[in-house]
Amino acid sequence: MIADQLVLNKRNAKSSYATDRRTEKPKRSIAKSISWRVIGTLDTILISWIVTGTLSVAFSIGIVELFTKMALYFFHERLWNNIGWGK
pLDDT tens for 31-77 read: 887 888 889 999 999 999 999 999 999 999 999 998 898 888 889 98
**Which is more confidently placed, 13 or 70?**
70
Give the pLDDT confidence score for residue 34 in this predicted structure.
Answer: 82
Give the pLDDT confidence score for residue 63 in this predicted structure.
Answer: 92
46 belongs to a structural domain: yes
**Residue range of the domain that includes 82:** 27-87
Number of CB atoms found within 10 A of residue 33's CB: 19
9 belongs to a structural domain: no
Number of domains in the chain: 1
Say if pTM beats, i.e. exceeds, 0.75. no
CB 73 within 8 A of CB 37: yes
Q: How confident is the model at residue 4 (pLDDT cuts 50, 70, 90)?
A: low
Length of the chain: 87
